[in-house]
Amino acid sequence: MLRREEISSHLVRLTLGGAGLTGFTSTGISDEWVGLVVPGQFQSRYYTVRSWDGAELVLDIVVHDIGLVTEWAMRDCVGDVVTITEPKGSFAMPSDAGWLLLVGDLTALPAMARIAGEVRDVPVRMWAEVPGDQPDYLPEGCDVTWLEQPGDGQSALAEVVEGIEWPEGQGYFWMAGESAQMRAIRKHLMRERRLPSTAYDVMGYWRGVAKRQPRAVDPGPIYRAGKAAGKSDEEIWADYDAARENQ
Ligand SMILES: Cc1cc2nc3c(=O)[nH]c(=O)nc-3n(C[C@H](O)[C@H](O)[C@H](O)COP(=O)(O)OP(=O)(O)OC[C@H]3O[C@@H](n4cnc5c(N)ncnc54)[C@H](O)[C@@H]3O)c2cc1C
């Protein structure tokens, strides 16, 4: 970890670099993310690649009350060695889309900023729910409505989306944030708006529960079995993530 900067009251920018990033290849997808494993931990947490210039990789981390990465990022972590997984992305705006709507909370802002910076050929409208001050963060000239987050660990984005006035014609809707809100929105898009699945991408980025998420899947046996089978750490994390997704 090369640098740590506080870019707003709840956002910390971490710049990674060094020989370990040799061979990192961006997917080129605007909302691409990596799994991040911080020292002393085995579990990964996902973070958007805010930028990658071929040598340095920037992640913008929301610091909240408690959490594996949040607690590490609040400290002076410069010089620490972290692990990241292969990048993935899911933003897939159809080529005939005439507009783009982006909705998210602070965890989604890095992806929204990157998408807004890369999509230049259609009008982009954004809604961003943030705690406290609005970070000076999005590209110049963005059409954004700032919303106050209703409380720590909470979000009211579903209600906001249900009240949106939708543009005419075909477009693309991208949204990320608290998982329960995202589930409600998927239902709304399918049942009320009757959008085909190619017209939207809605992702749960975090779960709004009041305490540290339980280790529902014990990583120990997966790690030992993986090592015994000669798997790389990355393959073992993939097994672990798959086990969590299938629980
Ligand atoms: C594809 C993808 C991309 C993401 N990109 C980013 C990104 O660029 N920046 C970013 O900050 N996050 C991003 N996230 C969200 C991030 O992975 C989660 O917020 C993660 O839980 C943070 O890990 P932690 O170790 O800090 O907390 P955890 O140990 O996972 O959780 C501890 C407790 O904190 C609560 N919690 C988790 N996140 C939040 C939050 N944001 N606000 C309030 N309470 C919370 C949990 O409910 C839990 O109770 C992304 C998630 C996904 C799936």
Q: Is the CB of 215 under 6 A from ligand 1?
A: no
* Residue labelled with tokens 């998982």: 179
Reply yes or no on whether the pLDDT at 165 is more than 80. Answer: yes
Angle between helical axes of 219-228 and 233-245 (0-180°, round to 10): 140
Please give the average per-residue pLDDT across 108-114, as a whole number: 97
pLDDT tens digits along 69-84: 999 999 999 999 999 9
Predicted pLDDT at 90? 96
Interior angle at CA 237, CA 154 and CA 246, nearest 5: 65
pLDDT tens digits along 17-65: 999 999 999 999 999 999 999 999 999 999 999 999 999 999 999 999 8
Q: Is the CB of 68 under 6 A from ligand 1?
A: yes
Fold exhibited by the domain 100-246? Rossmann fold (3.40.50)
Give the start-end residues of each E strand in 10-54.
Answer: 11-16, 33-37, 45-48, 51-52
Provide the CA 39 distance to its chain's centre, in angstroms: 21
Nearest to 30 by CA among 51, 55, 45, 57: 51
12 bridge partner residues: 6, 61
Reply yes or no on whether the pLDDT at 212 is more than 50. Answer: no
Give the domain ranges of the chain.
Answer: 3-84, 100-246
Interior angle at CA 52, CA 3 and CA 75, nearest 5: 25
Q: Whose CA is nearest to atom 45 of ligand 1?
A: 153
223 band by pLDDT with thresholds 50, 70 and 90? confident
Longest dimension (CA), the chain: 57
**From residue 192, how far is each of 161, 183, 188, 198, 209 by CA, in Å?**
12, 14, 5, 16, 28
63 bridge partner residues: none
Q: Is the CB of 149 under 6 A from ligand 1?
A: no
The CATH number of the structural domain formed by 3-84 is: 2.40.30.10
CB 2 within 8 A of CB 83: no
**From residue 197, how far is each of 82, 149, 192, 246 by CA, in Å?**
36, 28, 13, 22
Question: Quick one: DSSP state of residue 197?
Answer: G
What is the whole-number distance in angstroms between the Cα of residue 96 and the centre of ligand 1?
33
CB 116 within 8 A of CB 142: yes
Question: Quick one: DSSP state of residue 188?
Answer: I
Reply yes or no on whether the pLDDT at 244 is more than 80. Answer: no
Average pLDDT taken over every residue of the chain: 91
Domains 3-84 and 100-246 share a fold: no
Ligand 1 mutation pick, 12, 206, 212, max ligand atoms within 8 A of CB: 206
3-state secondary structure 77-134: CCCCCCEECCCECCCCCCCCCCCEEEEEEHHHHHHHHHHHHHCCCCCEEEEEEECCCC
The pTM is what? 0.86
Predicted pLDDT at 227? 86
